Amino acid sequence: THNIHGKTGVWFLKHYGISDDLVHKIRTHMTLQISSNAHLAGKYHISGIKKSSAMQKVARDYKVSSVLFNSGVDVVTPNGLNVKKFSAMHEFQNLHSTNKTRIQEFVRGHFYGHLDFNLDRTLFFFIAGRYEFSNKGADIFLESLSRLNYLLRVHRNDLTVVVFFIMPAKTNNFNVESLKGQAVRKQLWDTAHTVKEKFGKKLYESLLTGNIPDMNTILDRDDLTIMKRAIYATQRHSLPPVTTHNMLDDSEDPILFNVRRIGLFNSRNDRVKIIFHPEFLSSTSPLLPMDYEDFVRGCNLGVFPSYYEPWGYTPGECTVMGIPSVTTNLSGFGCFMEEHVSDPAAYGIYIVDRRFKSAEESCNQLTQFMFSFCQQSRRQRIIQRNRTERLSDLLDWRYLGRFYTHARHLALSRSFPDKYKMDNKGPLKTEGFRYPRPASVPPSPSASLHSTPHHSDEEDDDDEPYNEEEEAERDRLNIKAPFMLGSNQNQT
């Protein structure tokens, strides 16, 4: 979809071959359909939605509305979430750690034979949704990953980024190499447990007799043979696969085509690894047995650089689960966050400008966002997740549902002014519904080399002025501030 925010609706419709006659028919049909449905349901006030122009739009398609209804949009109704379903209170950090461990187990199997990177220094990024390569921003994401890989290598960063593409495509089965990797991992796990039990029993018996066991004899020849066989099974002469399934149209697939173009083949020198999972996640999968919610909780960053998105539930779901995300100002979610959060990046919402910047500039901005995120210490990521999770109330239906209530009251007051009265002088926007910038030092450090080549999470700056309880209380007071959507009193 073309960027219609800065164009007129007439241009948008004609650009896609829609004539003026068809526009008139669409407008007439919608009017008749709304009136007909209202008459059949016996709810005549519904037809007032057309008359009052209170279209419940999640996107800011004001110009399209002006073409169809000869008027603008009075109320924009954002999409909310049932936050209670995702709420984990203070447990969400523990859930992140638990599910991240499960993802790490999958990565161990997928990269067997090439697991020369430290999983404790590995971040997991992901993009998920319908397979709309350009519309969902997979094109700019892949190009940015190529540049991120270059930056990490140039700065000699020991951190690794594993990126998951969760987009359903046409496949015929699991990739044999991917299944083999998980089988090899399980075999190594079973071997290690077998040897551990024998070792532990001999150690226990030796200590009971008051002797320190001889480590050279505590493992017999059979144990050494078993371990050598297990190690031999991990030998691999090919690179880890980029995709977990056999693609029906491998050569024409947009993601795989661009992976070949940028040359990210999961080689040892690459600091960015790519895993394309062309199927929605399921806990019954023999490959990656995780539900989508658990998978999101285990990741570090969700990246959704959509070229156009009416709302965008995926970054919203990341937010309520305490996972930072990347969105754009061409999505309803991104525009909403820009309007209601003073410094979205400090709260883990990175907004790429795809409306006023060129594709090259947007790509560089996305690369910088991801590189800055990679420079964060473990403590800084924990602080940022706390801030992200506190935005949950901002997306709750308890608050966003009031926009829909206001739209209905507005429609009633304009359709039946004698029976439904409304104070139109009241402000339509919320008041006191804007998160301030956090008082503490921002969690995103500057993109520069560390003073020491051996920087680690243990070197966090403990002098950073951050008080979780005070900051959380300020945010709670902000979200609980009353809405000022106009009075809807005196209704009869």
DSSP 364-420: HHHHHHHHHHHT--HHHHHHHHHHHHGGGGGGBHHHHHHHHHHHHHHHHHHH-TTTB
pLDDT of residue 20: 55
pLDDT of residue 139: 97
102 and 56 belong to one structural domain: no
Does any domain span residue 20?
yes
Q: How confident is the model at residue 169 (pLDDT cuts 50, 70, 90)?
A: very high
27 and 169 belong to one structural domain: no
Does any domain span residue 134?
yes
- Those residues whose C-beta lies under 8 Å from the C-beta of residue 114, and which sit 6 or more positions away, are 236, 239, 240, 266, 268
65 and 168 belong to one structural domain: no
Does any domain span residue 421?
no
Number of structural domains (the chain) is 3
132 and 156 belong to one structural domain: yes
Q: How confident is the model at residue 145 (pLDDT cuts 50, 70, 90)?
A: very high
Does any domain span residue 307?
yes
Report DSSP letters for 173-216, one per residue.
EE-HHHHHHHHHHHHHHHHHHHHHHHHHHHHHHHHHTT----TT
The lowest-confidence range among 124-128, 250-254, 487-491 is 487-491
Handedness of CA 460, 371, 89, 477 (dihedral sign): positive
251 and 336 belong to one structural domain: yes
Tens of pLDDT, residues 372-415: 999 999 999 999 999 999 998 889 888 888 888 888 888 888 88
CATH of the domain at 280: 3.40.50.2000
pLDDT of residue 475: 67
Which has more confidence, 73 or 366? Answer: 366
pLDDT of residue 17: 46
What percentage of residues in the chain have a pLDDT greater than 70? 72
d(CA 468, CA 465): 10
What percentage of residues in the chain have a pLDDT greater than 90? 49
d(CA 42, CA 153): 67
272 and 324 belong to one structural domain: yes
301 neighbors 123 (Cβ within 8 angstroms):
yes
Task: Examine the fold and report which residue of 394, 428, 448 is the final residue of a domain before the chain moves on.
Answer: 394
pLDDT of residue 146: 98
The lowest-confidence range among 346-350, 402-406, 416-420, 421-425 is 421-425
290 and 384 belong to one structural domain: yes
Task: Examine the fold and report which residue of 72, 92, 114 is the final residue of a domain before the chain moves on.
Answer: 72
Tens of pLDDT, residues 239-278: 999 999 999 999 999 999 999 999 999 999 999 999 999 9
Q: Please state, rounded to an integer, the average pLDDT across all residues of the chain.
A: 80
Q: How confident is the model at residue 447 (pLDDT cuts 50, 70, 90)?
A: very low
Does any domain span residue 451?
no
The continuous run of DSSP H or E covering 161 comes out as: strand 160-166
61 and 125 belong to one structural domain: no
Q: How confident is the model at residue 180 (pLDDT cuts 50, 70, 90)?
A: very high
Range of the domain at 87: 83-175+241-394
168 and 293 belong to one structural domain: yes
Does any domain span residue 8?
yes
210 and 347 belong to one structural domain: no
123 and 3 belong to one structural domain: no
Does any domain span residue 477?
no
- pLDDT higher than 50, residue 45: no
Does any domain span residue 118?
yes
Coil/strand/helix, residue 166: strand
pLDDT of residue 423: 67
